[in-house]
Amino acid sequence: MTKKKPLVVVTRKLPEAIETRMMELFDARLNIDDAPMSKQELIDAVKEADVLVPTVTDKIDAAVLAHAGPNLRLIANFGTGVDHVDLQTARSRGITVTNTPDVLTEDTADMTMALILSVSRRLAEGERLIRKGEWGGWGPTLMLGHRIWGKRLGIVGMGRIGRALARRAKGFGLSVHYHNRRRVHPDIEEELDATYWESLDQMLAHVDVISVNCPHTPATYHLLSARRLKLMQPHAILVNTARGEIVDEPALTRMLADGEIAGAGLDVFEHEPAVNPKLLELQNAVLLPHMGSATIEGRVDMGEKVLINIKTFVDGHTPPDRVIEGLL
Ligand code: 8YV
């Protein structure tokens, strides 16, 4: 008798090659239309599934997990950040959680660098000028931005993406400063020419560019609070490709509007996909729809990781990207 394949519910449309393999390996229930699932649909999914594959758009909170059926043993997240999953509840219900680290590091660091350049050199404004038909030709004082070569970059969170950003920043002539829960190994500091600041407050006051690259956890919620944002220099800019919740978005918006901070590049927002309407009016904010890791190569690699995590788990082994192990 052949063993029954595990039921894997995938909440969003994934690259075709991944979906094909998913169907070969498992009893996969796919979301071909790609419409984000409602709370009720998520509840129905966790009742039945052996494995759930959510993304950042699915809130897998205690209320959803309360309905998890006895078969649900793995949440194989498509993405690195797992702040949308209630990990404690998952663990206590015996559900293991995996993610997809590493494969989106370089793409996200590229996008962070792109935002630093876009804000400093006013790329989006220039593009808008042309498309609106308002460009009257070259002028010596037209669209003046700020040079980034020789400026100071402060990285909040020196994990994989923070380090990948630091490598790029060095090439652009920025000096690298960072704040992290723990100081990184001296060899890494040396490689990146990075200066450690134990005090985030002091680093904020010292640098020209702040980049948010830490995960969103209860400890980092509004880490960049109104008080801390006020420590930044008026010419400084902030970019965030991590999670919107780490920055007090209303405070940032006010300060951008009042010129207390020179600019911001945001790929993530506190209440995605909602964007503070006041931000939309600001010329000095470059706004992107959470596309930091959105490359075809990255998405396929993320999908491969999900497949490997599920396969190793259902075969009775420890999945390579285990965030927490379900305890029963
Ligand atoms: C992903 C991300 O696109 O992996 C992450 O944590 O923020 C994004 O780059 C998204 O999370 C996929 O679920």
Per-residue pLDDT for 2 more than 70?
A: no
What are residue 286's DSSP bridge partners? Answer: 265
Q: Where are the domains of the chain?
A: 7-103+296-324, 105-287
Contacts of 52 (CB under 8 A, 6+ apart): 8, 9, 11, 45, 46, 60, 72, 74, 75, 76
237, β-bridge pairs: 209, 263
Predicted local confidence at residue 105, as pLDDT = 98
* Residue 270 is a catalytic residue: no
Mean pLDDT, the chain, whole residue set: 97
* Average pLDDT, integer, range 24-40: 97
Question: What's residue 138's pLDDT?
Answer: 98
Written out in words, the top-level CATH class of the domain with range 7-103+296-324 is alpha beta
Take residue 232 and report the two structure tokens written for it: 């930044």
Tell whether ligand 1 has an atom less than 6 A from the beta carbon of residue 79: yes
Task: For residue range 119-148, list pLDDT tens digits in order.
Answer: 999 999 999 999 999 999 999 999 999 999
Q: Given 21, 243, 270, 299, which residue is catalytic?
A: 243
Instruction: Tell whether the model's pLDDT for residue 1 goes beyond 60.
Output: no
- Fold classified for 105-287: Rossmann fold (3.40.50)
Identical fold for domains 7-103+296-324 and 105-287, yes or no, is yes
Distance 141 CA to ligand 1 centre (A): 39
Nearest-5° angle of CA 184, CA 188, CA 193?
Answer: 105
pLDDT of residue 327: 80
Mutate to test the pocket of ligand 1, among 293, 301, 305 (most ligand atoms within 8 A of CB): 293
Model pTM? 0.96
Active site residue 243: yes
Give rounded-to-5 percent helix, strand, coil for the chain: 35, 15, 45
Question: Per the residue annotation, which of 260, 272, 304, 325 is the catalytic one?
Answer: 272
pLDDT digits (tens, 9 = 90+) for 152-167: 999 999 999 999 999 9
3-class SS of residue 94: coil
